[in-house]
Structure 1
Amino acid sequence: MSVTFVLGGARSGKSAYAQALTEAAAVRSGGRPVMIATAEALDEEMAARIAQHRRERGEVWRTVETPLELAGAVRGLEPGAVAAIDCLTLWLSNLMFAERDVEAATDELLEALAATHAEVTLVSNEVGMSLVPENALGRAFRDAAGRMNRRVAQQADHAVVMFCGLGVALKGSPSMIVPAHLSASR
């Protein structure tokens, strides 16, 4: 069907934007939106964030938690499903800490996206427009995120970058707009 890529900095409104797009598509299709979540509750603060995101989405969303096997989750979507993946940079850090092959995992994800018959919106952080990290792991993460984001954007049908809660179309439809009350909530 279609793949939309939503990129932005921390608290830029990208999750709210992706959720609004996914909810609207689910309403059009008469289906239930799916959240494919990559975060793990490894501490109390992250557990609270995850709980808050679930409350904000509400009961209508079905959640699939997959910190590492993202391609498998995409392949598991039923034809006509509508899903949001939040977020690729958490998935990337999970892969790096698990010492997985990031390039191979990205290849597998892109293959799954190319073969899916679902509508998928992916969220990722833009980490390359800030300071150069002072340590090797931080620089490796920044570089890997940049490569991954570039590859996903190239394959996506639509790409949007979020600034201050406002979506700017980079590729595809320029009419994708999030209601202000949604973009201000995150």
Structure 2
Amino acid sequence: MEDMYLHRAEMKDLPQIESIIQDGKRHLAAQHIDQWQGGYPNTRVLVDDIQNGHTMVLVDDYDILGTAAVIPAPDQSYQVIDGDWLTHDETYVAIHRVAVSANHRGQGLSGKLFDAIFNEIEQHKSVKGVRIDTHPENKGMQHVIKKAGFTETGRVEVLADEDTMVQDFAYEKLTNAGTLV
């Protein structure tokens, strides 16, 4: 796994991405975490992410190890926060739908995926912040997010499935272009 790199996903990557998302759903269910246990994220969401150029994948050879959607502002989920963002305009990107392959879990891939995404974002000098959220019971992702240098900023209300809203923990990390780094 020395030749890992990040690239923008293509439609041919969809089967591996869907498999990794399913791995994530099963992993959360095994921990009794009610995140991703409805219909979200579904194929339509993943296809939209790829077609819009938002999905980034961490690859080793031809094997996709991890995936995340990196979406430019404004993000509807982040318009209202019970707290305060570190950036106060639309100079941020949001990271959603982070998952790593069950075949490689426990190898620090989430951190490597975040590092690669941050390196990509740093190329865009206008981006001042990176925002992310996670379910209050998802302690593993909270640990990964904090270890990656994010600051907890409050709570955001997100749609868990077609009928259920959840108050997720919200985080932001400033980039080198940010004012408080």
Structure 1 and Structure 2 fold alike (TM over 0.5): no
For normalisation by structure 2, the TM-score amounts to 0.28
Q: Which fold has the larger relative contact order, with Cα–Cα distance below 8 Å and residues 6 or more apart in sequence?
A: 1
More strand by share: 2
For normalisation by structure 1, the TM-score amounts to 0.27
